[in-house]
């Protein structure tokens, strides 16, 4: 059975702090060949366009790495108190990326969850202690901050996730299995996926990619070929627990909005309807399976079994579609739901609430 898995890397405290992935490096070394064969290039006119295409792709990815890698960091966190009864300290590792010259760094909330200390390692090997500015479990976004010279900070630029298309080439940079500054490349496999946040709410609009994402990649950037951040790598779908070519990144537009709110000292809030849904058996609409107590949905008169077919006149095709449409609103917004119940169609006005933590 497939599992949707967060990709923070848990490691023994000593190994993580000393080497940050020595075991991963050893596995890599033992499976890397050392052949000394000689390749022969045949200079034929028909082959030239293919060779040129490969060269252009290699140049693009190589340049992307040179430009972006200095802005990507390895993050090591320690959780638990030293000498605490029943378990003591443990460590975890993830990735992050610099967004300004003030020291703000974005990562996943699950990377720094429960951290008693946070250490950041830059590409040049320098390290700095970091503090948590704030986090939002509902989008799995956190901002940490380091106090270091601005020359050490290489902010990455934002791209918009709204225009991302299936088939677009992308690259991920991070610390899979504790191997910092690793890059993988692939394409956007799908858009508008819905994944589960650490607090069990839904994150809509996720980007699916076949760029290799593994434990330790959490919090690192997903980049377009211009080197712009279009997502933050967060989860994998896997039978094995490792990369099966199905990774998910939280869309950059949502990441930037949440990060800006956290940095400005604001409180991140999410619109809340208060229902459990699935795609209708007819294949069109979102069917309500449960209505939460004391929720806007209950107040508006929604019932289990209702099928929501539109919101403010815009068709709802699936459960994920409804989730995305509600997520695009703010608490306090008033919406009108078109609902099918026992063969009849009715309109229900709802004032969206604030999602509980």
Is the distance from CB of 222 to CB of 209 less than 8 angstroms? yes
**Cβ neighbour number for residue 167 with a 10 Å cutoff:** 7
- Give how far the C-alpha of residue 284 lies from the chain's centroid of Cα atoms, to the nearest Å: 28
**Is 74 a known active-site residue?**
no
Mapped onto helix, strand or coil, the DSSP state of residue 325 is helix
End-to-end CA distance of the chain: 29
Report the alpha-carbon distance of residue 274 to residue 222 in Å, rounded: 32
Q: Which helix (H) or strand (E) holds 345?
A: strand 344-351
Mapped onto helix, strand or coil, the DSSP state of residue 315 is strand
**Is 135 a known active-site residue?**
no
**Is 252 a known active-site residue?**
no
Q: How many contiguous H segments (helices) and E segments (strands) does the chain have?
A: 7, 22
Report the alpha-carbon distance of residue 143 to residue 103 in Å, rounded: 10
**Of the listed 218, 238, 252, 327, which one is catalytic?**
218
DSSP-derived pairing of the beta strands 271-272 and 286-291: unpaired
**Of the listed 136, 140, 210, 306, which one is catalytic?**
140
Strand partners, 345: 340
Structure tokens at 241: 């627990």
**Of the listed 74, 91, 95, 110, which one is catalytic?**
110
CA distances (Å), origin 82, targets 9, 117, 153, 190, 264: 20, 11, 31, 44, 33
Catalytic residues: 110, 140, 218
């Amino acid at each position: 059975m497939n599992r949707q898995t967060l990709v923070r890397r848990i490691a023994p405290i000593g190994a993580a702090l000393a080497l940050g992935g020595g075991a991963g490096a050893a596995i890599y070394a033992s499976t890397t060949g050392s052949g000394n064969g000689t390749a022969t290039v045949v200079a034929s006119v028909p082959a030239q366009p293919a060779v040129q295409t490969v060269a252009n792709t290699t140049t693009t990815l190589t340049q992307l790495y040179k430009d972006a890698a200095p802005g990507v960091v390895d993050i090591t966190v320690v959780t638990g108190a030293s000498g605490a009864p029943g378990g003591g300290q443990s460590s975890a590792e993830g990735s992050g990326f610099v967004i300004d010259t003030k020291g703000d760094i974005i990562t996943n909330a699950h990377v720094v969850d429960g951290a008693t200390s946070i250490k950041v390692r830059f590409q040049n090997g320098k390290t700095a202690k970091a503090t948590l500015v704030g986090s939002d479990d509902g989008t799995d976004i956190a901002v940490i901050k380091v106090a270091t010279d601005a020359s050490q900070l290489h902010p990455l630029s934002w791209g918009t996730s709204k225009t991302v298309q299936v088939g677009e080439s992308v690259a991920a940079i991070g610390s899979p299995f504790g191997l910092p500054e690793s890059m993988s490349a692939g394409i956007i496999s799908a858009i508008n996926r819905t994944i589960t946040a650490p607090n069990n709410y839904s994150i809509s609009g996720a980007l699916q990619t076949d760029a290799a994402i593994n434990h330790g990649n959490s919090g690192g950037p997903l980049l377009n070929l211009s080197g712009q951040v279009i997502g933050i790598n967060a989860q994998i779908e896997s039978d094995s627990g490792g990369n099966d070519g199905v990774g998910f990144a939280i869309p950059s537009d949502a990441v930037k909005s949440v990060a800006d709110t956290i940095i400005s000292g604001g409180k991140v809030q999410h619109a809340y309807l208060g229902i459990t849904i699935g795609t209708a058996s007819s294949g069109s609409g979102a069917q309500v399976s449960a209505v939460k107590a004391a929720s806007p949905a209950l107040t508006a008169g929604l019932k289990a079994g209702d099928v929501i077919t539109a919101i403010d006149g815009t068709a709802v095709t699936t459960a994920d579609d409804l989730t995305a449409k509600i997520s695009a609103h703010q608490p306090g917004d008033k919406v009108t739901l078109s609902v099918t119940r026992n063969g009849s169609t009715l309109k229900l006005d709802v004032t969206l609430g604030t999602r509980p933590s």
